[in-house]
Amino acid sequence: MPDSDQPTAVRLDGKVISEQVRSELTQKVAEFKKNHPTFTPKLVAIQVGERSDSSLYIRQKSKACKEIGISFEHVQLPDDIQQAELDARMDKINNDPTIHGVIVQLPVPDHLSTKHIVHSICPEKDVDGFHAENIGHLSKRATEPFFNSCTPMGCIELLKRYDIAVAGKQAVVVGRSDIVGSPVAMMLNNLDATVTLCHSKTPDIEAKVREADILVVAIGKPEFVKASWVKPGAVVIDVGMNAKDDPTKKSGYRWVGDVEAAATTHAAYMTPVPGGVGPMTVAMLLSNVVTSAIRHFEASSTTSIVPNSLTLLDPVPSDIAIASAQKPKLISQVASELNLSHAEFEPYGKYTAKVTLDVLDRLESNSNGHYVVVTGISPTPLGEGKSTVSIGLTQAIYAHLNRPAFACVRQPSQGPTFGIKGGAAGGGYSQVTPMTSMNLHLTGDIHAITAANNLVAAAVDARYFHESTQTDTQLFNRLCPKKKGVRKFANVMLRRLQKLGISTTNPDDMSAEEVSQFVRLDIDQDKIMWRRVTDTNDRFLREITIGEAATERGMARKTGFDISVASEIMAVLALTTSLSDMRERLGRMVVALSKQGEPITCDDIGITGALTVLMKDAINPTLMQTLEGSPVFVHAGPFANIAHGNSSIVADRIALKLVGAPAGEPVTAENAGYVVTEAGFGADIGFEKFVNIKCRASGLVPDVAVIVATIRALKMHGGGPDVVPGKPLADEYTQENLELLRKGFANLRRHIENVNKVGIQAIVAINAFSSDTEAELELVRQLSREAGAYNAVPTHLWAKGGAGAVELAKSVEHCCSKSKQNSKFHVLYDHNLPIKDKIEVIAKEFYRAGSVSFSKEAELKIEQFTRNGWDKMPICMAKTQYSFSADPALKNAPEGFDLPIRDIRASLGAGFVYPLCGAMQTLPGLPTRPCFYDIDIDAETGDILGLF
């Protein structure tokens, strides 16, 4: 039969189909990006060495990625790179959440293991589909791989695009490589073909091939399969690409496949060589990258909600018994539910981890979730349960409303833990767990603050000592010693030079006058402001004398200790927004005044870098969980009466992004979760500082404030009898007394009014006790709404966990939805007002004082701060938490009183001025019977006993 009469197979045109695939991918990326503006697929190609053919292939892939809208990064490494260094680079790429696909251009130099490299790629990013895990899942019908190998995938795609039926057909695959043969055989099997896999040891391959309805050949031998072997009407996919000598060609060779080209006269369909499978391989690689990017984006856009169920007991056991009975999730699981990459958290044991600030960079474009602040009435010895409500509300939203929810709380100080108050992990069935870890060392943040603070104290005293005993030349030679004949300034010294207006950066170019300016801080020993700290309630360290040893040459001075959480470094940690911001804040901290009255900072002392190093891990918030499995950030712990009393800005920011909405999407009740953050003590203290200090620094806007109150505490404010430790509660607290309750409600009314005053809706959470009557609860509900509260809801979080706060959670959800649409939030005062004016705004509008009086010392400080330019910072009032006034005995809602300001201090690092109202202790003491009497350990099991 003449050649023109021979039947010709339909061309399985990989070039045409690949162009269709690329066009579809381009449209798919564009459409997805339209709805999600931050969406950008990214492929990284790793090349070891500089082989020209490998470089060509990478350039081709780069060009293809660009056409689709895929970001492409070429990582070229030296050919002598060692396996360990390559592994480290690969680990970094694996843990980069912005990278969705990784390929390694093969071959690699002989000293490297190809198998090891391929298997070091994270399976979720193995877009080549070579990883054993992906190939293994392909072999199981019950599971699916993250990716199929690109060449086999291209073969299958050609069959689909040409509508070639596979089910029930006899398929023969020649070649069993892990890259093509074995995977394509499994894929055909999964499409219900009956598959025969042939290889070099298969006897009578010709006979097997003759039976094939579908023939895939990937053996790497030119024209191995003869045309006569091909069954008439078969589908032939020739994966081979071999160079065959051909003197008629200019190049001296031509490309042939593993199947004789003449097989087109037998086959019904056949791929050309080239132009068949080759273009499809690249198209499928691009498809895998886009699939990976979309999968990652969708997974990271929503957090998983996996509650831990509670077994509620009645009577309610002790806090530590409840905590010990509940098995927490592993912290790696909590991190996974939050879509944190392995590089974004560092476990500290099984149940706690540090979360890095890198999360903020990754989620920068995401919208924030709903922001809820929990505050309370003026505290009483009866306790209001603010931490319990914060944790229980979070549990209710997470485990019972099935919405993402995050609690952000302060780290407890060990002073109160071993003193009189006990721990601060919540209580009953609304706790942070493990509560023993939270109430003890946790991840060492407070220890880091203590070490940093006391290093500053040591440095200040040491500098005063050395300046007092050395000449300018001696100081200069020691501060800038010659090393190999050359003097250099330390980096931190350049900041002091800039402050002094000295332009030279070469120590040897300085004049004698400049040297003296540089080395002499001229510290006034009586004006050293920096005190040492300890995290123990040690009353005998409040006032001490240091420098009594003979070696200190008569330079003794009086000073004292504060509690560690009162350190300015704690305030810096709580208010910082980044590592660089923390370094700047630490450098600005004023530690003393010179004899000329000039402020001396940590930058002047030269200690800023060292402080930042001590604090570099502490800046990362600690991830924990509640008893019901909702995530918690425990970070920073400034007291609210002597500092600003709120957990860290970075913890709130990270949490808000993790539960927020993807970029470009509106924040709604359906697509965003909730962050519950706690402000210390009553709303006149912690909440006021939350608004005017924390929100001013963070730029975050709260949606709703929850004010915690108890019936019995309101009765105490109404004139109920004093509570005496060790004695039963008076009848007024355990029996219905509406008159006393109505009088005491004045305190809660004041707090509701104050919250509303800054444009935030208030919800009252009544932390109910079994002795509360329905009439008492209804009275508080009624009066709260009349006072301007959005709602007032009884809760039973201590006894029931999240289940006891479902109605509160629903009320918060409804209020947040309205607040997002029409926020009226504003700070109480303009920070540019004079210091006195700002103090008076707080005193008269929040406290309802009639007047403010300033001591002579406070007046002088205000004048000095104004001269120094420190008058533009917000105010952090140091005041008793027990009253709106400075008198802790003045309960309920006093007004018209005088607020005395006995002193005023500046925290330049934290960024606020703090007036001292009345007598304030900055280091608590131990009571007659401290909590430590009850704390012990079971020597056999290692369990901690008695902590609460």
Residues 6 or more apart in contact with residue 59 via CB below 8 angstroms: none
Q: For residue 162, give the 3-state DSSP assignment.
A: coil
Instruction: List b or e across 492-510, with b for residues whose CB sees 16 or more CB atoms inside 10 angstroms.
Output: bbebbbeeeebeeeebeeb
Which positions ≥6 away from 708 have C-beta within 8 Å?
Answer: 374, 375, 376, 377, 384, 385, 386, 389, 765, 767
C-alpha to C-alpha distance for 278 and 499, rounded to whole angstroms: 65
User: What is the chain's alpha carbon radius of gyration, rounded to the nearest angstrom?
Assistant: 36
Burial (CB count within 10 angstroms: exposed 0-12, middle 13-18, buried 19+), residue 307: middle
- Residue linked to tokens 């019936």: 711
> CB–CB of 390/412 below 8 Å?
no
DSSP 309: P
Tell whether the torsion through CA atoms of 779, 781, 786 and 789 is positive or negative: positive
State how far the alpha carbon of 2 is from the alpha carbons of 7, 32, 262, 263, 265, in Å.
11, 54, 14, 16, 12
- Helices and strands in the chain, H and E counts: 34, 37
3-class SS of residue 784: helix
**CA pair distance 597, 867, nearest whole angstrom:** 11
CB 913 within 8 A of CB 294: no
Coil, strand or helix: which one is 877? coil
Secondary structure class of 408 (helix, strand, coil): strand
Number of neighbours of residue 30 by Cβ within 10 angstroms:
11
CB atoms within 10 A of CB 96: 18
- Can the peptide bond before residue 434 be classed as cis, meaning omega within 30 degrees of 0? yes
Q: Are 662 and 366 in contact (CB under 8 A)?
A: yes
The span from the CA of 148 to the CA of 519, in Å, is 67
Sheet architecture: strand order including 101-104: 71-77, 42-48, 101-104
Token duo for residue 324: 């010990």
Nearest to 45 by CA among 125, 109, 112, 116: 125
DSSP 3-state of 132: helix
Structure tokens of 726? 């060790």
As a three-state string, the secondary structure of 836-857 is: HHHHHHHHHHHHCCCEEEECHH
92 given a catalytic annotation? no
For the record, the structure tokens of 514 come out as 């400049």
Task: Fill in the amino acid letter for 946.
Answer: G
Catalytic residue among 42, 61, 657, 838: 61
Exposure string (b/e) for 456-482, b if CB count within 10 Å is 16 or more? bbebbbebbbebeeeebeebbeebbee
Q: Which helix (H) or strand (E) holds 426?
A: strand 426-427
Question: Which runs of E-coded beta strand occur in 134-186?
Answer: 170-174
In angstroms, the CA 879 to CA 128 distance is 64
Tokens of 366: 């995401």
Q: What are residue 800's DSSP bridge partners?
A: none
Amino acid identity for residue 487 in this structure: R
Tokens of 491: 């980096």
* Helix pair 512-519, 491-500: axis angle to 10 deg: 110
Q: How many CB atoms lie within 10 A of CB 319?
A: 23
SS3 content of the chain, % helix, strand, coil (to 5): 40, 15, 40
Residues annotated as catalytic (active site), given as ranges? 61
